[in-house]
Chain A
Amino acid sequence: MTQSPTLSRRSQTSAVPQSRKPRRRGADTRAGYTFLLPWLLGFIALTVGPMISSLYLSFTNYNLFDAPKWIGFDNYATLFQDERFLQSVGVTLSYVVFGTPLKLAAALLVAMLLNSKRRGQGFYRSAFYAPSLIGASVSIAIVWKAMFGDSGPVDQGLSFLGINLGGWVGNPNMTMGMMILLTVWQFGAPMVIFLAGLKQIPADLYEAASMDGAGPVRKFINITWPMLSPVIFFNLLMETIHAFQIFASAYIISNGEGGPAGSTLFYTLYLYLRGFSDFRMGYASAMAWLLVIVVGVITLIFFKTSKSWVHYSGDAK
């Protein structure tokens, strides 16, 4: 209704808007880049620039003091003969492959438990979320180390139950279990996101399924999982990428060395040791680029396969 007067007014004084419009577009472009300046500067100086130089460094020998020496693919070739590197890959992969699904399963189970109208909902959500906020801190790593120390409370509690695992922190067979427990313990962050997703699922879907005689398992498979799949996808992607980059807790628990017997030599810890203890910056850069490639490929695989199991509302399927 209000459109026609403005249209007519525009046509009447056609000379003014025409001259104003390009000027405004130019002004918008200028304003856009001005407002974007902080991000743009940071992006060039702290991300793109460093990425290019890290790619270059990955083909060199560089110790921070002498000029970088071009060595081609030597760093990459050496990596695959470096036993400590291969061990760090194994450690990180087992952490990602076992820790992330377990964490997400715990998150989903507890979210489903909490997804009902009951008193104390807010309290439970907050209590479960708290570890996610502090889990990656040095403080918690110290507490974890003390709790899982040989003859610490966890070991004592288990031996009270007749289970003797031979310690955690000092036992290379158990350190991974301890690290995985540390990440599963932080299930609160994905849980809260799951909970928000569960709240979006219309209740009449479940009511209709109950009418048809569906049990809880069928309801989960046919309603919860597909309706929640975008949130599951988001959590899976973010938690996986996150898990690859674990550092502080591994550093503290293993005294910065990745021990015992390299069982906590996580990828980023080894990268740090190579780059900043041995000053093999080129070698560490090659490691960094391999990590980027692996994370990139995994992200791509996730997105490609997601088409078959992630359902967005409004999709035909």
Chain B
Amino acid sequence: MTTMATPTQPQPTKPATSAPAYNPKSESTTAKRIKSTIFHLIALALVAMVLYPAVWMISASFKPNSEIGGANNSLWSNNFSFDNFATAMEGIGGVSTLTFFTNSLILAIGAVVGTVLSASISAYAFARINFPGRGLFFGMMIATLLLPFHVVIIPQYIVFQQLGLVDTYVPLLIGKFLAADAFFVFLMVQFMRGLPAELDEAARIDGAGHVRIFGSIMLPLMKPALISTSIFSFIWSWNDFLGPLLYLNTPEKYPLPLALRLFVDQTQSSDYGAMIAMSVLALLPVLAFFLIFQRYIVEGVSTQGLKG
């Protein structure tokens, strides 16, 4: 979004700055070139270091077990094969990995739908409606951002257990539909506050109520915030481990992270290759999302202070 205007901007300033320079032009450009080469060398070395674990992971997933760890440590192998993936797709204890994928997908899509709906509705109240108690509730909402959620997991578990909802997806999804991720509410409030107030005033004069204003004016304008929220709630739900660990007991209902842990428990380093292949599979949607939406993701982080 913001990149559209930037590429053309530096050019007009260039002649202005180079004109008053007296010193030999060739010297400064070679110095610049050396500087830029050094910059890229350092930056690329850092990228290599940071991405090494991911590259190692992908390379190991294609290697036979005998070549993972041990003396042969190169990323290249002469025996690349898909065997590990075949083993990983077989699943665990009679449940196929496709089932775990489907479960993860159900949970993640549920999380996205619930969060987008509930957070946008609540955020509209905070940002656009004047009512007594708003400031107090807003402060409380901000406070929950800093609250360690471990303080609520025990009573929550007890309640869901007494309601007979353990081993269902209800405990994992209900919070999403009740805007429990204060972070997204806050993000949307900030975004809505940036939209001009004249919009809803004009709509009000035309006789529109809050439902109309929210549905036909705010929501379409909030697209960027809704997209960031969707991406992050999808990825966070996809990676979530503690929630499913607490609430799910039946392997048929497990999402991928839990299945992975079960896989680790069962194979215990005897089949490293399959274990790593399954880890790659579990990360695949996240990596795909990242490659497609990386601009949105990185920009979202820098403007809204999102975390990884």
Which residues from chain A sit less than 8 Å from chain B, CB to CB?
A: 25, 28-29, 31-43, 45-47, 49-51, 53-54, 57, 64, 110, 113-114, 116-118, 120, 122, 124-140, 142-144, 146-147, 149, 151-153, 156-157, 185-186, 188-189, 192-193, 195-196, 234, 237-238, 241-242, 244-245, 247-248, 251-252, 255, 268, 271-272, 275-276, 281, 284-285, 288-289, 291-292, 295-296, 299
Contact = CB atoms under 8 A, between A and B. Distances in A.
Contacts of A143: 53, 56-57, 276, 279
A118 B39 contact: yes
Report, as a range, how many residues of chain B touch the other chain: 35 or more
B290 A28 contact: no
B283 A64 contact: no
A142 B155 contact: no
Given A39-B122, A134-B283, A142-B276, A120 B42 contact: no
A110 to B, nearest CB: 7
Interface string B134-178: 100100110010111111111111110100000000000011011
Contacts of B130: 25, 28, 32
B241 A133 contact: no
Contacts of B298: 122, 125-126, 129, 192
A275 B148 contact: no
Given A142-B276, A252-B264, A40 B155 contact: no
Interface in B247-276: 256-257, 260-261, 264-265, 269, 272, 275-276
A118 B36 contact: yes
B40 interface: yes
Contacts of B180: 42, 46-47
Given A32-B131, A292-B148, A39 B308 contact: no
Interface of B: 10, 36, 39-40, 42-43, 46-47, 50-51, 53-54, 56-57, 60, 68-71, 73, 117-119, 121-122, 124-126, 129-132, 134, 137, 140-141, 144, 146-159, 161, 174-175, 177-180, 185, 209-210, 214, 235, 239, 241-242, 245-246, 256-257, 260-261, 264-265, 269, 272, 275-276, 279-280, 282-283, 286-287, 290, 294-295, 297-298, 301-303, 305-308
A235 to B, nearest CB: 8
A49 B71 CA distance: 56
B180 to A, nearest CB: 5
Contact of B144 (A47, A146, A281): A47
Contacts of B40: 118, 120
Contacts of A153: 56, 69, 73
Nearest to A26: B131
Pick the most buried of A38, A140, A268: most chain B CB atoms within 10 A of its CB.
Answer: A38
Given A127-B51, A196-B302, A244 B148 contact: yes
Given A31-B129, A238-B307, 18 more contacts: A32-B131, A38-B121, A39-B137, A43-B137, A45-B178, A50-B152, A54-B154, A118-B39, A124-B43, A126-B294, A133-B308, A140-B279, A234-B305, A247-B242, A248-B257, A251-B261, A288-B151, A296-B146
A35 B121 contact: yes
Nearest to B240: A248
